[in-house]
């Protein structure tokens, strides 16, 4: 699939003048042309801007200036990240044609590091979905098998990396939207600790759960991207104010205590070959000197239900602003309320409407305590249970997704079945912790499987160490 | 399966959420939301009376910004994004119902 | 006809005079070109996030001290969800069950008025209704300007402790003076930087449960607040007398017609779906922040009034006028500091000077006459150099041109004639010229005598060029006429 260079290699080659950024970008654009028609990973290709930026980097190198640690590395951005003047749609008709007048903090940091945004990638509308089928602009297909979904909601970014368009991409993860598509597409995907990466310029789905994170083909590339985008940001009140320590390059797991989460691994619905991959990764780590044990985190069983109350509740409020007044779609009406209602009915897809309805209901008078309030208490339980587990373990393991990639259309008629594919990733978001998916093994259909490495808040360093060790076992 | 939410409730919620829906959509949403809420019963049924809710995963306080002006956006650019404008402002159909 | 007990509670929204908005760096400025003070945050653009203005928290803590509030260890923001085109996000960031200030009070005319809470929230944009009668429901369409969206507000909610329009006015007036004193707002009701909504209910006697609460809005002066409350009391009394049911609603005050109008109630009940704002973190005022607030609150109006009454010997109504007008009070205090007597300075300030300012539409800071000048004028009056009428002349000139009173007196030779010998000669001269008048005075009845005496006094003043000491002249005249 990708015989291309890693981001680390590309940046080194461009920085030393061995390769021009221009040639890197042209190669990426060629790869996109070749497969984009069948995959539809991108909503917009930023060809002209990317070439102009590549030329500027080549000029900087020629002048002996430092072009940055990601010099010349093409990167794909999930189309819910704002880039000034570029179409930013969230794969929704309601935002079609909208060009933000400002740029997300993470993108500013990428540009400062010399990276070259080359495409805005497809997603489930407003990041609500697990298959990228809920895009107003059509589904993305899995590069490993066109009949299958790439996962979601960051399916376009996962597919772009998997198909070799780019070595790096950014996605956003609210309940697994980076890790699950990474698993389905056979790439590395990271959900950082809540607050580690600025959300300024990320179009909100569920504000207390959303985090931006990297996709890459290797753990090292993911670490490089992570270190570029993270750190405090004054534009985001929920940004952790301390500067993060470097991730480091370690892969030594000897002496580490690793727990396999029973509730996410040994339960009905987890495909046997998925469980087997986790077992093989665990025994490999054991062979490298780690202590591996099963651990029970009982409240994980309630994660899915709590998530599907909290996330829609926040979303119902975050998405109220799409009302046809200031930007985006408008459908006329006799008065402003009718205009709002018609605009929203025409502009939002079925899943977005479903979640807005669910969230509005969960917050409404008479139901708040039973649903939203109760879900917030479950959140407390999950945090408490994880805290207990992390007293005994440095990191935890589980599958990233219950199965390998499923076929397009397989779950579109059954929202709950679709939601179930996030069951392993959701607890991390509720707790605000870090987790990442590392490709490890294949399923009965020969499709990639991801092993999830979970770490406590701010535990990125040990998480990457274990991820590297898993990667080395392949 | 007994739906936990009636089409009438769905229509009320749709009004709160400013979504125009047809009767057929109301019935379908009642059914779909019913299934999801049925699943959420495991959470609704837990006795969590002694547990504090968590609104947010991190515990920061007093994240404050200095009261220092920053540049605003260019008005023409702002208005260019709008579906309808007039006399330097955003134009909307007439407003029924009270102001808050 | 029954008499009812009136129960009034007030919700006061105050726009804070910060440099920037509540959650972004856009300028907080009244009257700018439409939609020029907007950015991704206050326009609610997708992806934008709020960051709280430190000064707003500091102002809220000042208010906490000034209104005797408790400030709990932590307070949080909630989202109040409802659709309205003047709200860019279609929710308002406000505070709900954990506000920054709780359980305060102030004393108004000897009565303690409880204040339930004060909380921080963002203002909405401004809608202009076009076509039709220019009123909201008749309009063909509306135009929205978001400059005001995101301006910081403090909402101050009183307890239902007031029993009359007069008391409500007193409360707002005192609140306004306090807010001006701590310097957190312009508190201009006319410009909307202070907005007062009143909840009014009536009950037959004080043991009954509270009656149905009606909210009245749109009063843009203290006077209209009083009128609106009285009008609402009257409306409800008439209804209760005829056993009509009062519905809980919001009514708009119509200043011209002098009545309140019911507003079309919104479809469905209001269900704001409050939940904690996930994009902001709690505000937990530290000991240091509390200490700074305590030490920054200046002398408050009530104690200042008491001090002026006892130190300057002025009356309560003059004290209120001065303390309610901070600039005038500062001016008067400076004049007293320059040696003027408190009582005399106050008389001039609340009399001629205030009259002049009102007539000119000017402010004390802009007066050409500096406080030292007023002190000098007061001294010239006190030592009989000037009569009151001469002093008014001098003041007039000093208000118009930059000269000190003593210079005017010297240049125009205005000093009062106080020398008794000189004045006696003057009296002799004037009486000598007016023997007819003296004869008429002698022959006349009481009324005629009074008239002639007035004539002679006028002649004396005229002859002295208005400079004769009127007290002495009066005395001399009495002696000569043998009255
Ligand atoms: Zn702004």
Residues A410-418: contacts with CB under 8 Å, at least 24 apart:
A410/A149, A411/A130, A411/A131, A412/A131, A412/A133, A415/A351, A415/A354, A415/B32, A415/B35, A415/B36, A416/B35, A416/B36, A416/B39, A418/A129, A418/A130, A418/A131
Residues of A in contact with B83 (CB under 8 A): 324-325, 327-330
* Strand-pair category, B89-93 with C141-145: antiparallel
Phi, psi values for residue C202, rounded to 5°: -120, 150
For the stretch A351-400, pLDDT in tens is: 999 999 999 999 998 899 999 999 999 999 999 999 999 999 999 999 99
pLDDT recorded at residue A2: 42
Residue C239: how many other CB atoms lie within 10 Å? 15
pLDDT recorded at residue C412: 81
Contact assessment for residue A429 and residue A175, using Cβ atoms and an 8 Å cutoff: yes
Domain extents in chain C:
4-292, 299-412, 420-481
Lowest pLDDT segment from A251-260, B86-95, C59-68, C372-381:
C372-381
What distance in Å separates the CA atoms of residue A88 and residue A107, rounded to the nearest whole number? 13
Which residue intervals of chain B are DSSP H helices? 7-16, 23-44, 75-80
Overall residue count recorded for chain C in this entry:
483
Residue C322: how many other CB atoms lie within 10 Å? 26
For the stretch C252-271, pLDDT in tens is: 999 999 999 987 654 445 79
Closest partner CB to C20 (pick from B56, B68, B78): B68
For the stretch C31-57, pLDDT in tens is: 999 999 999 999 999 999 999 999 999
User: Would residue A153 show up in a list of annotated catalytic residues for this protein?
Assistant: yes
Band of pLDDT at residue B62, cut at 50, 70 and 90: very high
What distance in Å separates the CA atoms of residue C68 and residue C71, rounded to the nearest whole number? 9
What distance in Å separates the CA atoms of residue A428 and residue C144, rounded to the nearest whole number? 42
For the stretch C272-301, pLDDT in tens is: 999 999 999 999 999 999 999 999 999 999
- What is the CA(C38)–ligand 1 centre distance, in A? 4
Could you tell me which residue, C154 or B96, shows the higher pLDDT? C154
- Asked whether residue C413 carries a pLDDT value surpassing 80, the answer given is no
CB-based contacts of B15, cutoff 8 Å, min separation 6: C267, C268
For residues C402-412, give the mean pLDDT. 88
* Residue ranges with strand state E in A344-426: 395-399
pLDDT recorded at residue C264: 60
User: Would residue A33 show up in a list of annotated catalytic residues for this protein?
Assistant: no
- Asked whether residue C138 carries a pLDDT value surpassing 80, the answer given is no
Which residue intervals of C251-370 are DSSP H helices? 287-296, 301-312, 316-324, 326-337, 342-348, 354-360
CATH number of A2-229: 3.90.1300.10
Residues of C in contact with B92 (CB under 8 A): 85, 141-144
User: Would residue A208 show up in a list of annotated catalytic residues for this protein?
Assistant: no
Number of CB pairs < 8 Å for B and C? 149
What distance in Å separates the CA atoms of residue A294 and residue A278, rounded to the nearest whole number? 12
Q: Which helix (H) or strand (E) holds C215?
A: strand C214-219
Lowest pLDDT segment from A418-427, B86-95, C462-471:
C462-471
Phi-psi label, residue C410: left if phi above 0, alpha if psi -120 to 50, beta otherwise: alpha
**Gap from A225 CA to chain C (nearest CA, Å):** 21
pLDDT recorded at residue C206: 67
Phi, psi values for residue A395, rounded to 5°: -140, 165
Residue B14 resides in a domain: yes
Tokens 């040696």 belong to residue: C339
What distance in Å separates the CA atoms of residue A188 and residue A114, rounded to the nearest whole number? 22
Domain extents in chain A:
2-229
CA distances from C401 to A422, C34, C332, C367, C389 (A): 81, 40, 20, 10, 19
Paired tokens of A50 = 């990317």
pLDDT recorded at residue C265: 57
Subunits with 3+ Cβ pairs within 8 Å of B are A, C
CATH code at position B18: 1.10.20
User: Chain A residues contacting C, CB < 8 Å?
Assistant: 80-82, 88, 90, 95, 98, 100-102, 104, 199-204, 206-208, 234-238, 313-314, 316-317, 320-321, 323, 325-327, 336-337, 340, 360, 363-365, 368, 372
Phi, psi values for residue A451, rounded to 5°: -100, 135
Residue B71 resides in a domain: no
For the stretch B14-42, pLDDT in tens is: 999 999 999 999 999 999 999 999 998 88
For residues C320-344, give the mean pLDDT. 93
CA atoms within 13 A on the CB side of C65: 21
* Strand-pair category, A291-295 with A257-261: parallel
Q: What is the largest CA-CA distance in chain A?
A: 70
pLDDT recorded at residue C418: 82
Band of pLDDT at residue B96, cut at 50, 70 and 90: confident
Contact assessment for residue C261 and residue C251, using Cβ atoms and an 8 Å cutoff: yes
When divided into structural domains, chain B yields a total of 1
pLDDT recorded at residue C186: 94
Band of pLDDT at residue C2, cut at 50, 70 and 90: confident
Phi-psi label, residue A236: left if phi above 0, alpha if psi -120 to 50, beta otherwise: beta
pLDDT recorded at residue C422: 84
Overall residue count recorded for chain A in this entry:
474
For residues C150-178, give the mean pLDDT. 97
Burial bucket for residue A48 (CB in 10 Å: 0-12, 13-18, 19+): exposed
Q: Which fold has domain C420-481?
A: Arc Repressor Mutant, subunit A (1.10.10)
Subunits with 3+ Cβ pairs within 8 Å of A are B, C
CA distances from A329 to A325, A339, A345, A360 (A): 9, 11, 11, 22
User: Which parts of chain A sit beneath pLDDT 70?
Assistant: 1-3
Does the distance separating the beta carbons of B67 and C280 come in below 8 Å? no
> What's the pTM value of the predicted model, to 2 decimals?
0.91
Paired tokens of B18 = 């400013």
- Asked whether residue C310 carries a pLDDT value surpassing 90, the answer given is yes
pLDDT recorded at residue A108: 98
For A427, nearest residue in chain B (alpha carbons): B57
Phi, psi values for residue A220, rounded to 5°: -65, -45
**Gap from B2 CA to chain A (nearest CA, Å):** 16
Which residue intervals of C146-285 are DSSP H helices? 165-182, 222-241
Name beta bridge partners: C36: none
Task: Residue B17: give the domain boundaries.
Answer: 7-44
Residue B32 resides in a domain: yes
Does the distance separating the beta carbons of B67 and C20 come in below 8 Å? yes
CA distances from C460 to A72, A111, A393, C435, C444 (A): 102, 92, 108, 14, 21
Could you tell me which residue, C132 or C403, shows the higher pLDDT? C403
Paired tokens of A288 = 């490298």
Closest partner CB to B64 (pick from C57, C83, C84): C57
- Asked whether residue C427 carries a pLDDT value surpassing 80, the answer given is yes
Paired tokens of A449 = 């499987």
Q: Which helix (H) or strand (E) holds A76?
A: strand A74-78
pLDDT recorded at residue B2: 45
What distance in Å separates the CA atoms of residue A442 and residue A426, rounded to the nearest whole number? 23
- Asked whether residue C229 carries a pLDDT value surpassing 50, the answer given is yes
- Asked whether residue B75 carries a pLDDT value surpassing 80, the answer given is yes
Does the distance separating the beta carbons of C124 and B100 come in below 8 Å? yes
pLDDT recorded at residue C262: 87
For residues B48-75, give the mean pLDDT. 95
Tokens 């709008």 belong to residue: B82
Output the 3-class SS for A85-109.
Answer: CCCCCCCCHHHCCCCCCCCCHHHHH
Contact assessment for residue C480 and residue C427, using Cβ atoms and an 8 Å cutoff: yes
- The span from the first CA to the last CA of chain C, in angstroms, equals 62
Does the distance separating the beta carbons of A337 and C50 come in below 8 Å? no
């Amino acid at each position: 699939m990708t015989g291309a260079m890693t981001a680390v290699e590309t940046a080194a080659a461009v920085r030393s003048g061995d390769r021009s950024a221009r040639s890197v970008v042209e190669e990426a654009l060629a790869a996109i042309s070749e497969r984009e028609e069948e995959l539809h990973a991108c909503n917009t290709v930023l060809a002209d801007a990317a070439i102009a930026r590549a030329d500027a980097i080549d000029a900087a190198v020629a002048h002996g200036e430092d072009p940055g640690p990601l010099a010349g590395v093409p990167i794909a951005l999930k189309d819910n990240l704002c880039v000034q003047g570029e179409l930013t749609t969230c794969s929704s008709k309601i935002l079609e044609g909208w060009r933000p007048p400002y740029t997300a903090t993470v993108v500013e940091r990428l540009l400062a590091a010399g990276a070259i945004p080359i495409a805005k990638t497809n997603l489930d509308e407003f990041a609500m979905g697990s298959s990228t089928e809920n895009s107003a602009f059509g589904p993305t297909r899995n590069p490993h098998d066109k009949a299958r979904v790439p996962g979601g909601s960051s399916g376009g970014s996962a597919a772009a990396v998997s198909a070799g368009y780019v070595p790096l991409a950014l996605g956003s993860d609210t309940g697994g939207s980076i890790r699950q598509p990474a698993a389905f597409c056979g790439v590395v995907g990271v959900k950082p600790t809540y607050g580690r990466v600025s959300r300024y310029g990320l179009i909100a789905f569920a504000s207390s759960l959303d985090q931006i994170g990297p996709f890459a083909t290797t753990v090292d590339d993911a670490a490089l991207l992570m270190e570029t985008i993270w750190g405090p940001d004054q534009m985001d009140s929920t940004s952790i104010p301390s500067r993060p320590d470097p991730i480091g390059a370690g892969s030594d797991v000897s002496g580490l205590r690793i727990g396999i989460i029973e509730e996410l691994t040994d339960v009905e619905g987890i495909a046997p070959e998925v469980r087997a991959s986790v077992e093989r990764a665990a025994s490999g780590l054991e062979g490298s000197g780690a202590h591996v044990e099963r651990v029970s985190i009982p409240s994980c069983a309630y994660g899915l239900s709590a998530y599907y109350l909290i996330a829609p509740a926040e979303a119902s409020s975050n998405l109220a602003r799409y009302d046809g007044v200031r930007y985006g779609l408008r459908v006329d009406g006799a008065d402003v309320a009718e205009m709002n209602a018609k605009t929203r009915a025409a502009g939002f897809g079925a899943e977005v409407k479903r979640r807005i309805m669910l969230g509005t209901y969960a917050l409404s008078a008479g139901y708040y305590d039973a649903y939203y309030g109760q879900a917030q208490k479950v959140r407390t339980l999950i945090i408490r249970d994880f805290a207990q587990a992390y007293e005994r373990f440095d990191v935890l393991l589980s599958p990233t997704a219950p199965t390998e990639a499923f076929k397009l259309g397989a779950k579109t008629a059954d929202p709950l079945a679709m939601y179930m594919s996030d069951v392993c990733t959701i607890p991390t978001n509720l707790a605000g912790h870090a987790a990442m998916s590392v490709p490890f093994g294949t399923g009965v259909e020969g499709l990639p499987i991801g092993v999830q490495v979970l770490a406590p808040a701010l535990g990125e360093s040990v998480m990457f160490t274990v991820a590297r060790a898993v990667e080395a076992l392949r | 399966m007994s739906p936990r939410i009636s089409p009438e409730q769905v229509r009320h919620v749709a009004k709160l959420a400013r979504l125009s829906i047809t009767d057929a959509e109301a019935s379908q949403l009642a059914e779909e939301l019913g299934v999801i809420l049925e699943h959420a019963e495991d959470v609704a049924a837990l006795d969590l009376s002694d547990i504090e809710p968590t609104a947010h995963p991190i515990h920061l306080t007093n994240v404050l910004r200095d009261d220092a002006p920053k540049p605003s956006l260019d008005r023409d650019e702002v208005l260019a994004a709008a579906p309808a404008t007039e006399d330097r402002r955003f134009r909307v159909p007439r407003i029924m119902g009270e102001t808050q | 006809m029954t008499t009812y007990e009136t129960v009034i509670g007030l919700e006061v929204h105050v726009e804070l005079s910060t440099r920037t908005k509540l959650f972004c760096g856009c300028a907080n400025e009244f009257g700018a070109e439409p939609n020029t003070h907007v950015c991704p945050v206050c326009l609610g653009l997708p992806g934008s996030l709020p960051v709280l203005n430190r000064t707003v928290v500091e102002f809220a803590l000042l208010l906490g001290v000034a209104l005797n509030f408790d400030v709990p260890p932590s307070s949080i923001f909630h989202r109040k969800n409802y659709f309205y085109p003047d709200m860019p996000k279609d929710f308002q960031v406000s505070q709900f069950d954990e506000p920054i200030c709780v359980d305060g009070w102030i004393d108004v005319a000897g009565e303690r008025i409880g204040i339930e809470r004060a909380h921080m929230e963002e203002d909405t944009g401004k809608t202009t209704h076009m076509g039709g009668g220019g009123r909201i429901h008749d309009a063909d369409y509306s135009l929205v300007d978001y400059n005001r969206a995101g301006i910081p507000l403090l909402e101050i909610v009183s307890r239902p402790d007031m029993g009359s329009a007069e008391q409500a006015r007193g409360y707002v007036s005192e609140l306004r003076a306090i807010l001006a004193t701590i310097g957190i707002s312009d508190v201009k009701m006319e410009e909307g930087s202070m907005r007062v909504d009143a909840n009014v209910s009536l009950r037959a006697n004080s043991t009954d449960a509270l009656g149905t609460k009606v909210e009245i809005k749109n009063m843009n002066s203290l006077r209209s607040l009083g009128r609106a409350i009285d009008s609402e009391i009257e409306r409800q009394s008439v209804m209760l007398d005829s056993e009509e049911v009062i519905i809980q609603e919001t009514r708009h005050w119509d200043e011209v017609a002098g009545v309140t109008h019911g507003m079309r109630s919104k479809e469905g009940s209001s269900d704001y779906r409050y939940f904690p704002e996930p994009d902001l973190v709690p505000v937990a005022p530290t000991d240091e922040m509390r200490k700074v607030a305590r030490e920054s609150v200046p002398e408050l109006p009530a104690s200042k009034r008491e001090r002026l009454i006892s130190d300057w010997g002025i009356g309560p109504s003059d004290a209120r006028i001065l303390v309610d007008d901070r600039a005038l009070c500062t001016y008067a205090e400076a004049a007293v500091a320059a040696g003027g007597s408190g009582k005399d300075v106050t008389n001039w300030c609340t009399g001629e000077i205030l009259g002049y300012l009102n007539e000119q539409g000017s402010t004390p800071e802009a007066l050409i006459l500096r406080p030292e000048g007023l002190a000098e004028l007061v001294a010239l009056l006190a030592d009989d150099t000037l009569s009151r009428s001469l002093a008014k002349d001098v003041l007039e000139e000093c208000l118009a041109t930059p000269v000190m009173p003593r210079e005017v007196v010297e240049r125009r030779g205005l000093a009062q004639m106080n020398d008794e010998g000189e004045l006696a000669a003057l009296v002799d001269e004037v009486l000598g010229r007016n023997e007819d008048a003296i004869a008429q005075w002698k022959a006349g009845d009481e009324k005629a005598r009074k008239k002639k005496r007035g004539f002679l006094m006028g002649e004396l003043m005229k002859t002295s060029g208005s400079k004769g000491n009127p007290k002495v002249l009066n005395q001399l005249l009495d002696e000569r006429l043998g009255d």
